[in-house]
Structure 1
Amino acid sequence: MTVVGIGADGWAGLTDAARAELAGAQVLIGGARQLTLLPPSCRGQRVPWPSPLRPAVPGLLAAHAGRRIAVLASGDPMFYGIGRALTEVLGAGVPRILPHPSSVSYACARIGWPLEDTEVVTLVGRPAARLAAALHDGRRVLVLSADAGTPAAVAALLRDQGFGPSRLRVLEQLGGADEACVEGTADHWPHPPGDPLNVIAVDCRRTPGALRLGAVPGLPDEAYDHDGQLTKRHIRAATLGVLAPAPGELLWDIGGGSGSIAIEWMRSHPSCRAITVERDPARAGRIERNAGRLGVPALRVVTGRAPGSLAELPTPDAVFIGGGLTAPGLLDTCWDALPPGGRLVANTVTLESEALLAGAHRSHGGELVRLAVAHAVPVGGFTGWRQAMPVTQWSVRKPSASTDAERSTEPAQDPGDNR
């Protein structure tokens, strides 16, 4: 099998090697639009991709096993393309990949943006809300469009997010004979839907006075819709620091409240995933709205009580418990669910839950800290400190079996032993 990237310029834009593979293939698989770009000299059986595509890949390949197959892909097959699905099914290195310049490379070349300084967000098969996490004043973002209606949807989202002055350029049919570009601002987007094959270049400009959202944990409390059940900004930043999200990791957020911990976990990297468990349906709906507005609509919200709702969830890399600590078996269930090296962080403001954390600290080690925050407030004609409720936090990393064995052989020491 060979996977051939093809652009809007079709056959004329292909290398000799790519043309030879397509001309010699017994089966040609691709999108209907891509297949029409091939000349009659490509005599192989033309098979359009079914919809939905991903589930159909194994069966389609099996149906043509033993035949010489060429698969067509838009641009670079390994950049949000079919190459990923094929390598996941067949294994890396099995299909031969012949890439073509991607639409992102074409777009950066046309408008003079360094590719390494440009963020790329795809909205193909994904909600427009995920663009929100990439919006920062002065940044350049390329959006891969789902269809002709995407530019208007992006303009509307920018207005809603306080980025109405942003300049938009829609580049259509990049690399083809019908290449075109239209532009405007999100505040006053004047263009009707154009060609469905387009890329949107966004020069991000924030509206003066709009709420500023940074790239690290500790977003302003005003960024969230909440009913008081919110891990406040400074405690939230400290909690995410201990949770230490890394690319690709999964978080369980138990007692989601307003979803702030899970949302900021996911905002730390586009590949971070989170599941929040919240027993109150109204709060669960609020979490979903907050997640969409803050650019992480993929946050999974489970409405139900823990620990019962945790039974079928995928294994987490980290667990945060922000509520429900006194529920029977919750702490043990979360600890047991973690793999070796997984992290658990629990916050509480009550004496009853604090006693549970003290016991867990004795059993499993880790770090037990108390976090206190005070805010300056008017006191008559002067200023004084108003103390927020202190938060007790237990954080721990689950050891491996080998670490447990090593610890079990160490003699216990009295605190006063100075050896």
Structure 2
Amino acid sequence: MDEPWLHVVGIGAAGLASLAPAVRALVENAEVILGGARHHALTEGIAARRLAWPSPFDALIAQLQALEGQRVVVLATGDPLWFSVGARIARAIPDGICFHPQLSAFQLAAARMGWSLADTETLTAHGRPVEQLVPFFAPGARLLILTTGSDTPGEIAALLNQRGYGASRMTVLSDMGSASEARCDGLAESWQAAVPPFNTLAVDCVAGPEALVLTRVPGLPDAAFAHDGTMTKREVRALTLARLMPMPGALLWDIGCGSGSVAVEWMRAAPRSCAIGIEARADRRALAAQNALSLGTPGLHLVAGQAPEALQGLEAPDAVFIGGGLSEETFAVAWGALLPGGRLVANAVTLQSEALLTGLQARHGGDLVRISVERAVPIGNRSGWRPAMPVTQWSLTKS
């Protein structure tokens, strides 16, 4: 096996002194060192060619590939493969690379707080919308969050307040491991602290009486969504997502997404999952965007258009839900694009759509199920059952 030419080194606040002797020797003998201004300041005195992070940052891989054949070190903070640059490099350059982790900000923060990492959510808001943290707000939850800078803790405090978690305890840990390490404690409801830009946030979630407590398990109340009355209702939505099987990093096409309830719950249910909502009506796309933001999935991608035409050119999905716009042509395009092992689910409420599903199931197999839901409603001073329209659901897996 050839010796690696590229070393990705996690460095602590103590600089070269934080490195094991063998790793320090790699840095000291590098021909090229690439990193941020802070990383270069921590390794002053080494006679290597210095490169800053490229702008735009997406140019990083090409820049590194052009350096192959030289002794190259990329400096990162803490563990390069934990919400850091290392994962991107590893995907693009799988060979000739070696990683050297340091204690991560999460490990240091957990030690400062006395929290078990196994019982703590480790999250990042670095360069990402803070709204993506919302699905993790829960009574008793403990969150460790990498921030973008001085303003991020205040933004998260406002988010906690808006959702009834104002009593949550917040701790900002800055410059951990350095001589200037500092700690700032407070409550989300009264947070006004000015903190250094290089910080990690710990949140001990406390739900107030007005908190909207929502699980990440599919089947949120219909009232949690902004909608115009046309949506996949709670019980059917839960069964639909059970068939779609959200998985980490998987992509869903939600065809005829309406208010986006299925796509939003898909993204909440599995880490790093993505969804593309295809919807012809602008008012419903606006509702879907609103729900994505309020329920913590700001990455939902919305496409204006009608299936099957709007499906052309989209990234191949791991799962497809057809909640609207069902036709032979839409199924054919979606099924052709679906990756092997992918799941397709289609729901129908009209006799015509049901007949179409019955015909498709006869030709392609899969499970055909009829879902009936009844709710107790007042009838005078008593109660009775009111049935919702039955839903015919067809599901199958691509071999």
**With structure 2 as the length reference, what TM-score do the two structures score?**
0.95
| Percentage of pairs with the same residue | 48
- Structure 1 residues 39, 330: closer, same or farther in 2, change over 3 A? closer
Q: Give secondary structure in 2 for the equivalent of 1:329.
A: helix
Matching of residues 152-191 of structure 1 within 5 Å: 152-191=154-193
Tell me if 1:73 matches 2:60: no
Question: Which residue of the partner structure matches residue 236 of structure 1?
Answer: 237
After TM superposition, give the deviation of residue 50 of structure 1 in Å: 1.6
Question: Which residue of the partner structure matches residue 147 of structure 1?
Answer: 149
Distance 1:260 1:322 in 2: 11
Matching of residues 4-403 of structure 1 within 5 Å: 4-40=9-45, 42-62=46-66, 64-92=67-95, 94-192=96-194, 194-326=195-327, 329-399=329-399
- Structure 1 residues 61, 183: closer, same or farther in 2, change over 3 A? same
> Residues 216 and 265 of structure 2 are in contact (CA less than 8 Å); yes or no, is this contact kept in structure 1?
no
After TM superposition, give the deviation of residue 60 of structure 1 in Å: 4.1
- Structure 1 residues 334, 39: closer, same or farther in 2, change over 3 A? closer
Distance 1:34 1:337 in 2: 44
**Structure 1 residue runs of 4+, over 4 Å off?**
none
Q: Residue 118 of structure 1 aligns to which amino acid in structure 2?
A: T
Q: Give secondary structure in 1 for the equivalent of 2:396.
A: strand
After TM superposition, give the deviation of residue 371 of structure 1 in Å: 0.7
Question: Which residue of the partner structure matches residue 410 of structure 1?
Answer: none
> Residues 58 and 89 of structure 1 are in contact (CA less than 8 Å); yes or no, is this contact kept in structure 2?
no
Q: Residue 105 of structure 1 aligns to which amino acid in structure 2?
A: Q
> Residues 247 and 271 of structure 2 are in contact (CA less than 8 Å); yes or no, is this contact kept in structure 1?
no
After TM superposition, give the deviation of residue 85 of structure 1 in Å: 2.4
After TM superposition, give the deviation of residue 346 of structure 1 in Å: 0.8
After TM superposition, give the deviation of residue 368 of structure 1 in Å: 1.2
Q: Which runs of 5+ in 2 are unaligned?
A: 1-5
> Residues 347 and 391 of structure 2 are in contact (CA less than 8 Å); yes or no, is this contact kept in structure 1?
yes
> Residues 367 and 395 of structure 1 are in contact (CA less than 8 Å); yes or no, is this contact kept in structure 2?
yes
Q: Residue 257 of structure 1 aligns to which amino acid in structure 2?
A: G
- Structure 1 residues 269, 24: closer, same or farther in 2, change over 3 A? same
Distance 1:341 1:85 in 2: 26
> Residues 11 and 39 of structure 1 are in contact (CA less than 8 Å); yes or no, is this contact kept in structure 2?
no
> Residues 361 and 367 of structure 1 are in contact (CA less than 8 Å); yes or no, is this contact kept in structure 2?
yes
> Residues 8 and 176 of structure 1 are in contact (CA less than 8 Å); yes or no, is this contact kept in structure 2?
yes
Distance 2:178 2:227 in 1: 49
Cα shift readout 1:235-269 (whole Å, capped 9, x = no counterpart):
11111111112222211101111101111111111
> Residues 28 and 45 of structure 1 are in contact (CA less than 8 Å); yes or no, is this contact kept in structure 2?
yes
Distance 1:189 1:36 in 2: 32
Q: Which runs of 5+ in 1 are unaligned?
A: 400-419
**With structure 1 as the length reference, what TM-score do the two structures score?**
0.91
Distance 1:298 1:122 in 2: 14
Q: Residue 200 of structure 2 aligns to which amino acid in structure 1?
A: V
Cα shift readout 1:91-139 (whole Å, capped 9, x = no counterpart):
15x2222211011000001110001111111111211110001111101
Q: Give secondary structure in 1 for the equivalent of 2:33.
A: strand
Q: Give secondary structure in 2 for the equivalent of 1:34.
A: helix
Distance 1:233 1:56 in 2: 44
Distance 2:68 2:353 in 1: 60
> Residues 54 and 85 of structure 1 are in contact (CA less than 8 Å); yes or no, is this contact kept in structure 2?
no
After TM superposition, give the deviation of residue 209 of structure 1 in Å: 3.0
Question: Which residue of the partner structure matches residue 3 of structure 2?
Answer: none
Q: Residue 88 of structure 1 aligns to which amino acid in structure 2?
A: R
Q: Residue 162 of structure 1 aligns to which amino acid in structure 2?
A: G
> Residues 361 and 368 of structure 2 are in contact (CA less than 8 Å); yes or no, is this contact kept in structure 1?
yes
Distance 1:332 1:5 in 2: 48
Distance 2:336 2:52 in 1: 47
Q: How many residue pairs align between the two structures? A: 394
> Residues 167 and 204 of structure 1 are in contact (CA less than 8 Å); yes or no, is this contact kept in structure 2?
yes
Q: Residue 357 of structure 2 aligns to which amino acid in structure 1?
A: L
**Computing the radius of gyration over CA atoms, which structure comes out larger, 1 or 2?**
1
Cα shift readout 1:139-184 (whole Å, capped 9, x = no counterpart):
1011100111101111011112221111110000011110001011
